[in-house]
Amino acid sequence: MANHSQLGFQDASSPIMEELVEFHDHALMVALAICSLVLYLLTLMLTEKLSSSTVDAQEIELVWTILPAVVLIMLALPSLQILYMMDEINEPDLTLKAIGHQWYWTYEYTDFKDLTFDSYMTPTTDLPLGHFRLLEVDHRVVVPMESPVRVIVTADDVLHSWAVPSLGVKTDAIPGRLNQTSFTATRPGVFYGQCSEICGANHSFMPIVVESAPLANFESWSSLLSS
């Protein structure tokens, strides 16, 4: 999760988030190069003597036409690649359905017979020592590590959004519509998120907690919860 005064992204915990962080750094370097070039030209114009001689400008016109096109291609190609990767869902090992309510989440493990539970924010008065205020829940989402997970997202009342930044996941929950996304947790851990769509008075109080565990631990948890 994010730390105080943190300027960058959270540590990536899925291949998609790793790609997003790399693309962010790539785009920043392109922007830095453009700003440096513009600053150099402005400095040159302010410090050099102005000339009124007529100069054939075909070469410079050719450069400032081709150069922006090259820059756009450098940004568009990796961006499109990541977009297609985010939409690609190939034979997931687990399907999870997340239903948004005012103001809690309901989760259904559709691959199991009776594995459904509601997830409410843990009140500050009941918060165990060392847990995070406004981010901890009474029932976490547990998924197997290094297994593709498909998440089907919908809502029961108003618009919500199921978002976990470190997994690179953010999908709108719309009443009457099923949206889907996927992720693969590459390491064990607990990943925090929140509803990212203003959904009413208690919008700030419906956190999301995803716990990634080894397959054996996930099987033990699922059998215990469904029994």
Q: What is the pLDDT of residues 35-45, one digit of tens each?
A: 998 999 889 88
To the nearest whole number, what is the mean pLDDT of the chain? 89
> Are 101 and 62 in the same domain?
no
Q: Which of 31, 53, 87 is the last residue of a domain?
A: 87
Residue 111 lies in a domain: yes
Reported as a single tens digit per residue, the pLDDT across 2-12 is: 777 778 888 88
User: Per residue in 122-176, pLDDT tens?
Assistant: 998 888 888 899 999 999 999 999 999 999 999 999 999 999 999 999 999 999 9
Same domain, 77 and 101: no
Residue 74 lies in a domain: yes
With 90 as the cut, is the pLDDT of residue 60 above it?
A: no
Let me know whether 27 and 105 are in one domain. no
pLDDT given for residue 52 in this prediction:
54
* Residue 76, pLDDT score: 94
Residues 133 and 82 placed together within one structural domain of the fold: no
Question: What average pLDDT does this structure show over 175-189?
Answer: 93
Q: Which of 61, 87, 113 is the last residue of a domain?
A: 87
Cα 182–chain centre separation:
11
Check pLDDT > 70 for residue 17: yes
Clarify whether residues 177 and 65 are in a common domain.
no
Rounded to two decimals, what is the model's pTM?
0.84
Taking the C-alpha atoms of 15, 141, 110 and 183 in order, what is their torsion angle to the nearest 10 degrees? Answer: -10
Instruction: Characterize the bridge pairing of strands 94-101 and 104-109.
Output: antiparallel
Considering 87, 114, 133, which residue would you say is the last residue of a domain?
A: 87
Considering its fold, how many domains does the chain have in total?
Answer: 2
User: Do 209 and 159 share a structural domain?
Assistant: yes
Say yes or no: 139 and 186 in one domain. yes
Q: Which domain holds residue 150?
A: 94-225
pLDDT of residue 189: 92
What local confidence, expressed as pLDDT, does residue 53 receive? Answer: 53
Reported confidence tier of residue 50, pLDDT bands at 50, 70, 90: low
CATH label of the domain that carries residue 58:
1.10.287.90
Residues in Cβ contact with 10 at an 8 Å cutoff, skipping those fewer than 6 apart = 1, 2, 165, 166
Residue 126 phi/psi, 5° resolution?
-100, 5
Return the top range by mean pLDDT from 55-64, 102-111, 122-131.
Answer: 102-111
**Within-domain flag for 7:** no
Task: Based on the fold, state whether residues 209 and 132 are members of the same structural domain.
Answer: yes
Whether residue 61 is found in the same domain as residue 110? no
Residues 120 and 34 in one domain: no
**Spatial contact of 135 and 204, defined as CB atoms under 8 Å apart:** no
The CATH number for 169's domain is: 2.60.40.420
